[in-house]
């Protein structure tokens, strides 16, 4: 049971296992089906075990994690989850069709040659082909990271929910730097429609440029997004259950400062982009456990690949 687990630094250093995965092997969530703890994962059960409250009116302070050698082991996972949550609240989760984990800093994806026409055929005719082969050039993954300077004495009295928000905001900004790479990959080699001014009809033209794929998202700068929202035709724009802005033709409006001011990228987010990582978000755990918080390094190694070129179109405003 979760009360009997010995928490130690070594749980962070197991090959190909995250800290939570290591805990889950020792304390499987499946064993709690039908109990009040069935909705908690192994890490959350350890927080409950040591009565560490990370949110709410009775939220504890950072120093609560360091009340014992065992509870200190939990702090890096808390910090990682906060940063990851901010990371996942960005547009990456909205624009990537799939995520691939590879074991090195280079990745060879597959390329599809689908140029032959899809048509009818007679019994004696040869079928047209779609050729899928391994790419001849590897995608080199880049390392993104941030150093967080915060001594233990500085943060020990901070409420965990406040400190968590700070870490979450770092995750948001870290993801923004990565989104710039995603935008660059989407733009490279994509079909471009140039228009002298941004109008509703030009957006409709972008939508109409998609053939067999469906434009279910457009990515643009905050300035262009505000112009789109100010259009008379969008006075009744809808918001879905998740708070996403949906344009009349069914495309989600996504804004990011990572894109050029006069560019709108239309995508079918189910087919356009692959997110590739060689590791999960990484923190220097030993320093955190030992209260050496002067320099916390958070990093991730990742890259992007366009899966289906026809699922990406670009509208350029030349004003």
Q: What is the pLDDT of residues 98-142, one digit of tens each?
A: 999 888 888 888 877 777 777 777 777 777 888 888 787 889 999
CA torsion 86-275-144-169 (nearest 10°) is -10
Q: What φ, ψ does residue 283 adopt, rounded to 5°? A: -120, 150
Please list, in sequence order, all residues whose beta carbon lies within 8 angstroms of the beta carbon of residue 180, skipping any fewer than 6 positions away: 258
Distance of alpha carbon 80 from alpha carbon 77, whole angstroms: 5
Supply the angle between the helices 69-88 and 42-49 in degrees, to the nearest 10: 130
The reported pLDDT for the residue numbered 293 is 64
Long-range residue pairs from 48-57, CB within 8 A, at least 24 positions apart, any chain: 48/2, 49/2, 49/3, 50/74, 52/160, 53/160, 54/78, 54/160, 54/161, 54/164, 55/160, 55/161, 55/164, 56/161
Give the chain's residues under pLDDT 50: none
Task: Note whether 203 and 215 are within 8 A (CB).
Answer: no
By C-alpha distance, which of 298, 283, 289 is closest to 73?
Answer: 289
Q: CB count, 10 Å around CB of 83?
A: 26
Helices (H), 89-157: 92-95, 152-155
Supply the angle between the helices 19-26 and 42-49 in degrees, to the nearest 10: 80
**Unique residue bearing structure tokens 């505000």:** 226
């Amino acid at each position: 049971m979760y009360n009997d687990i010995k928490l130690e630094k070594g749980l962070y250093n197991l090959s190909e296992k995250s800290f939570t995965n290591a805990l889950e092997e020792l304390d499987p969530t499946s064993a709690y089906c039908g109990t009040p703890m069935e909705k908690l994962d192994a890490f959350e059960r350890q927080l409950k075990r040591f009565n560490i409250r990370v949110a709410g009116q009775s939220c504890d302070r950072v120093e609560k994690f360091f009340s014992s050698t065992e509870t200190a082991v939990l702090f890096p996972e808390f910090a990682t989850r906060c940063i990851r949550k901010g990371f996942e609240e960005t547009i990456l989760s909205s624009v990537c069709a799939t995520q691939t984990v590879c074991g090195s800093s280079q990745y060879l994806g597959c390329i599809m040659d689908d140029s032959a026409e899809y048509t009818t055929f007679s019994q004696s005719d040869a079928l047209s082909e779609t050729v899928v082969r391994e790419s001849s050039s590897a995608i080199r993954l880049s390392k993104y990271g941030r150093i967080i300077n915060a001594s233990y004495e500085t943060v020990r009295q901070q409420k965990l929910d406040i400190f968590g928000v700070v870490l979450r905001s770092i995750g948001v900004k870290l993801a923004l730097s990565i989104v710039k790479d995603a935008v660059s990959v989407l733009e490279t080699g994509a079909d471009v429609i140039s228009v002298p001014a941004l109008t509703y009809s030009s957006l409709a033209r972008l939508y109409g440029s998609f053939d067999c794929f469906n434009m279910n998202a457009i990515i643009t700068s905050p300035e262009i997004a505000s112009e789109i929202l100010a259009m008379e035709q969008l006075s009744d724009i809808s918001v879905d259950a998740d708070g996403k802005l949906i344009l009349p033709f069914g495309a989600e409006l996504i804004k990011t400062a990572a894109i050029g001011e006069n560019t709108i990228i239309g995508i079918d987010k189910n087919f356009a982009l692959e997110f590739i990582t060689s590791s999960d978000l990484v923190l220097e755990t030993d320093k955190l456990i030992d209260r050496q918080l002067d320099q916390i390094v958070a990093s991730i190694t990742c890259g992007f690949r366009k899966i289906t070129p026809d699922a990406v179109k670009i509208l350029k405003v030349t004003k």
